[in-house]
A and B are shown apart, each in its own frame.
Chain A
Amino acid sequence: MAIELKAVTKNVGAEAHIYETSLMLKPGVFNILLGTTLSGKTSLMRLMAGLDKPSTGEVWFDGQNVTKVPVQKRSVAMVYQAFINYPNLTVFDNIASPLKVAGVSESELKDRVHKFADLLKLTPMLNRRPSELSGGQQQRTALARALAKGADLVLLDEPLANLDYKLREELREELPKIFAGTGATVVYATSEPLEALMLGGYTATLSKGSVVQYGETPVIYRNPSTLESAKVFSEPPINIAKVEKQDGFVRLSDSVQWEVSEKLRSLPDGKYTMGVRAFHLLPSGSGVKVLGEIQIAELSGSESIIRMTVEGNQWVSVAHGTHNYAIGTHAEFFFDPNNCYFFDQKGRSITA
């Protein structure tokens, strides 16, 4: 289903939860809302679901204005961060509940429940109650119920946030596959950039109550349109510094400057903000060399996460292998200017 938000806003009391936002989600795929807590992900989802009415603006489903249509008349299913199931119903009855409401015949109901239970690996637990399930199984039950509803729009609000790390990894991989065959438009809210990348599909970056950028997930990741979008889509935080372009050089400090690349040559001289992701700031390699004062080096076995101060900026490097440094020492790090993003004074990208 095609869902479109037309200039919606949402104010609660004097506080604006959503600033004017227009967004047209791609139908039939995974759409990710990526943003920190309080960036407006849940508020936006509630507008889509019809749980809240926008203060101004309209919500359209498949070319129809549904702004005033109440939630139960919209074809929507929702799964939350907390595991919400009917506590006194078995897994079978939990999954069957939306089918019973829809008045599906007994035999078809059975078939469909078994199909979804199979898909979500719940078949052995069909007779148990939610309290006898692990967190992962409880959330699978909630997901199966959302699937069974056969809704055109499925809203998933950080559904994996309360699960163990490895379970999360597993479900992240399964989720797009599970929904792929249903034709439903899925909206998935998360605060983790890596989760967005793993789920693929399309991503909208959110910040402070409005959508910053929307497009194919890897494209948005590589081409942030604003500094805000780059920040939202970077974990660890993107390394930022004020730079100045002058006489064909980009200057980070008196000691660190490099020749302007082809792409930026036509830009007027002046002050810019550069951003380089932690994965592109490395302890060895070529490109621009900076000197970092080490704050802490965290070694995970497969990679090293090194926090440092570079020319007065808080930077972090994530590199493969083990690179250990004592606190307070100085070490050289390198980045390729082609991997950097540059933003103007207003935070708009000049490379994208």
Chain B
Amino acid sequence: MNKTINQKAWWLILPVLVLVAFNAFIPLMTVVNYSFQETFGNNQFFWEGTTWFEQVLNSDRFHAAFLRQMLFTAMIIVIEVPLGIAVALTMPKKGPWVSVCLVLMALPLLIPWNVVGAMWNIFALPDIGLLGYTLNSMGIDYNFTQQPVSAWITTVVMDVWHWTSLVVLLCYAGLSSIPDAYYQAASIDGASKWAVFRYIQLPKMNRVLTIAVLLRFMDSFMIYTEPFVLTGGGPGNTTTFLSIDLVKMALGQFDLGPAAAMSLIYFLVVLLICWTFYTIMTRDEVN
């Protein structure tokens, strides 16, 4: 009944602290370590200072991957957020269909990333995939393994298919927290559907939309498995996003130094954009 003040409760979060330490902090420190040194194996390290950082920041390869990444993230947010809102608005608010819709919506989120990639790979194959074959038989020249445009469209559509549900569920939660009185008042005020959306639903969804955009931004910025399975970053390098590029560099070429430096830059970029974005989105509420 009463709120308890008990300092012992801190011990309960100890396992999490240990986990986070292993999971995040120690690897991060390893990366920092690599990013300033050169190694040729055998645990021998040579101090390199900021060389790797300069090299990465000046490389055309990084610029290209970064631009592709920005373009991809921008595209999926521009598509997924409005689409998610639209779907959430059409979902029923009460009755037996609510749970059916929610389960259907949650389904794509439950599928592992590599399975999604594999599914879409097969689905879109121009010769035997349902999508690829249908498109080609309709006279549309489509081959995602050869044409950059087809590869991009397929990757974006796959991400939209996989993640719009998340935006839908968040928006739906936001919408269902609006009391009925608001809708009644709006109908008495003669508000159009658009006005209801603009002045009631959108402002009340403000918070969840911030979260949705942040989540989608971070996730898409770090996307790896799905395009890797679908296109392998190709054709050429056309769908090589930052993570794929990083792995290619670190594991494919074993350039640990530049890869570590790139990781850190990558991490700082995500942090910076998230912070800027969050500050802008929540600025209104502070006033």
Measured in the bound complex, the distance between the Cα atoms of B5 and A71 in whole Å is: 7
8 A Cβ contacts from B1-34 to A? 1-6
Q: Count of chain B residues with Cβ under 8 Å from any Cβ of A?
A: 6
A84 within 8 A of B: yes
Is B2 a contact of A72 with CB atoms below 8 Å?
A: yes
8 A Cβ contacts from A70-123 to B? 70-72, 76-78, 84, 98
A49 within 8 A of B: yes
Measured in the bound complex, the distance between the Cα atoms of B6 and A51 in whole Å is: 11
**Among A71, A77, A98, A145, contact of B4 (Cβ-Cβ < 8 Å):** A71
CB distance from A44 to the nearest CB of B (A): 16
Q: Count of chain A residues with Cβ under 8 Å from any Cβ of B?
A: 12
CB distance from A96 to the nearest CB of B (A): 13
CB distance from B96 to the nearest CB of A (A): 21
How many A-B contacts are there with CB distance less than 8 Å?
22
Measured in the bound complex, the distance between the Cα atoms of B2 and A145 in whole Å is: 13
Q: Which of chain B's residues have a CB closer than 8 A to the CB of A51? A: 2-3, 5
CB distance from B9 to the nearest CB of A (A): 12
By secondary structure, the A interface counts as mixed
Is A78 a contact of B1 with CB atoms below 8 Å?
A: yes
Q: Which of chain B's residues have a CB closer than 8 A to the CB of A72? A: 2, 4, 6
Measured in the bound complex, the distance between the Cα atoms of B1 and A76 in whole Å is: 11
Q: Which of chain A's residues have a CB closer than 8 A to the CB of B1? A: 77-78, 84, 98, 145
Q: Which of chain A's residues have a CB closer than 8 A to the CB of B6? A: 70, 72
Measured in the bound complex, the distance between the Cα atoms of B2 and A49 in whole Å is: 9
A residues lining the B interface (CB < 8 Å): 49-51, 70-72, 76-78, 84, 98, 145
Query: What 15 additional pairs, Cβ within 8 angstroms, besides A49-B2, A72-B6, A78-B1?
Result: A50-B5, A51-B2, A51-B3, A70-B4, A70-B6, A71-B3, A71-B5, A72-B2, A72-B4, A76-B2, A77-B1, A78-B2, A84-B1, A98-B1, A145-B1
B residues lining the A interface (CB < 8 Å): 1-6
The 5 closest A-B pairs by CB, nearest first: A71-B2, A70-B5, A51-B3, A78-B2, A72-B4
Could you list 22 examples of A-B contacts with CB < 8 Å?
A49-B2, A50-B5, A51-B2, A51-B3, A51-B5, A70-B4, A70-B5, A70-B6, A71-B2, A71-B3, A71-B4, A71-B5, A72-B2, A72-B4, A72-B6, A76-B2, A77-B1, A78-B1, A78-B2, A84-B1, A98-B1, A145-B1
